[in-house]
Structure 1
Amino acid sequence: MSSPRFSIIPAWIVTDGRMKGSDLKVLCLLGTYTNKEGWCRRSQVKMAEQLNCGRSTVQDSLNRLAEIGAVEKQKVASADGRDSAHWYRVVLDRAPISDAFGAWEAEDQQEFGPISGDKSGTPPAGRPAPPAGPRPAPPAGPRPAPPAGSGPAPINDSNLTPPVERSEREPGLGGEEEENPRALERRFRRWWATWPTYAVDTETTARRAWLDLTPEQRKACEERTADYLATVKASGRKFSKAAATYLSERAWERLGEKDMQHSGQAPEPYTAYSRAGRGLLLAELLRPMRQLQLNKVEENIIETSPEKGGMIWRDKREKQGWPEAVKLIETTVQRRRFHVPQRVVELSKDFDKVKVGSDIWEAWQRLHFRRCWPWLPAPDGLEWMQFPRIVAHGESEADLDDAVERGLEEFAGRLNEGRGDDDAV
């Protein structure tokens, strides 16, 4: 038996941003071996051999494809209770309307099936006969009626209609069809990228809440989310609302006219080299560290070389423990600016200028190292950086380390004044 020549996969998945690594290769491999109904029974070990990768890579891709909605899995248990090769179905754009299958079957029967009965149009068993009498004439219109014949009626299924024509034929829809899954996914991805907690939030839950909104609510959400975020920042409150909570509560609807006017005022942007920018950076670093877990590679390295555990954990904390702080540092290094809540601007006005490379500058660097905090590098030519004011007693390293710890604690105390436990850093 010759090898299959084609692979059938849904076109929308090719540009989906959730695809990773070998996902597309695994999907194409499944699409190569699908049967007439779209199902394929394939061993993960065999797929891994064909793709020249590990079985775990194939398994991860299959799980991700199932979560995205591109593949449906059907488990199969062997007689002795152990897992056997599963059935997989490549999910195409969407299920066609129920009448379409009947029309396709009728068309196949006419072209390939045996000739039986007379030409009077006797319906197959199990299907109701058409009502007696002449067929009603089609409604008048600019297009000529199709020629009469004994074959099945043309299939009017939007799955077979090109998107451009479909948008022209479906009244009430804009340029992007509201119920088009790909259009909704693109809009969700654009909105998701603007949400402050997206790096640590649950994307699947947020997407489900997004799809639960009505078209009008989604549009209002897109238009007013920026106003909502600006209002929260201007108030100086800690931002911790999950995206799914924001969407399900429709929090943007609670913005009053006063809030809208306030959010319309564009605050001055800063970098982390400024007093206000350093204040916001420290405020983010003073938040609890994000919960971290080692991946398989890191676990294997530590198991083989335990002495590398400290280095691996430090690197992980510095890069992933405080994602919002890392984002502020990256923004500054890329010579871009960000907005700072007015309350933080006020609290950081008394920060001191510290000469780059000085003993105090190095003391602040040691504080960051002790806490596994990411450090903002000083670019060439930058002479001064801003830090909370300290009162140094003595000039030894221990004295300076103690002074910067107390200076940071004093700033954290002022940052938390007048705020409840839920808002505390």
Structure 2
Amino acid sequence: MAAQLDCARSTVQASIDRLIDIGVLEKHTRELPGLGDTAHSYRVIYDRAPDAGYDFDAYLAAEEQENDPISGASEGRTPADISAPPADHGAAPPAGSGSAPYNAPSLTTPDERKERERERGFSEGEGNAKAVEREFKRFFIGWGTAISDSEPDARREWSVLTAEERQAAQDGSAVYQEIALSTGRKYLCSAAKYLKERRWEKLPALKAKTAAPAAIERHNAYSRPWAAHRLALLSQHPVQLFLDKFEDKIIADAPEKADAIWRNKREKAGWPDVVKMHELARERKQVVVPPHIVALAATGFDKVEVGGDVWEAWKRLHHERCWPWLPEPQGLPFVQFPALPDGIDDPDEAVLWALKDFQKRMIEERDHDDAA
């Protein structure tokens, strides 16, 4: 601006400050996580002429007094050791014929109000950049596919939502995920897609779809559908976890305990849906299993003796992957796991191949559903 007006940068800044003083311009300091303050953002809010009490003559006189040419901006500049000539006293060129933007609430369009609200969401009060980032983190961590999602894509979609839309997206997140999975779909959409398509607004339709009795199938703990559903959930990536202050202090004092602390945390909280299944199993309560998982469990499963060699092999596999192990089967002599392949004598290798075969069939079933 200074170069285009052939004046000093200080003159431009002083003019901006005056516009802010008389209420026709807003200046916002933007803060980005990890970057601190960034360039200011400005918004013209010239709704009407400033109050009659404002001294425009003093304004113009001060501007003329401060006006000075830019050193070296073009050929023929006055050397630094010679006083600069006085600023041109000519009047500024006339404004264009178009009217200035009008900010009166009654004349501001809904889109403009939404855009201004979005800007305020990143620069003012509860909606400043840090607060919005904290809101985003809470949302993203709670999304079922966060571990494999693109966080930048989700953050970009989050940033274009208004405060009300962000709150609605957060409020509808858990309900949407639960209902979406209960319809028989194995995998969730990405967090970015959920935000971009505003899928929380589809919750009434999803609830209606899942209200039909045929869409809800409940099964007992340790049954084949229950076991298949549990392994299907464990086959997903764990949710993102963070250490609390107490755990941080323990690791700082005894770094050798880090692995045990992280393992314990993942087993207890890495797969919250499985933890919930285990709690219901202890209470002898049934769980809802999606129909495509019920179909998957109809074949390829076999009884495993509690406490036997195969049971212990499955337990070791769970430990290696930080998966939560089965709760006490409450006197059942057998539980259900994927059938072991023929020709493999080593139990640990056999259960690993049984798990891989189950996951392969699960993917094929999902692809079949997608094609349908």
Q: Provide the TM-score with structure 2 as the length reference.
A: 0.48
Flag the structure with higher helix content: 2
Q: Provide the TM-score with structure 1 as the length reference.
A: 0.42
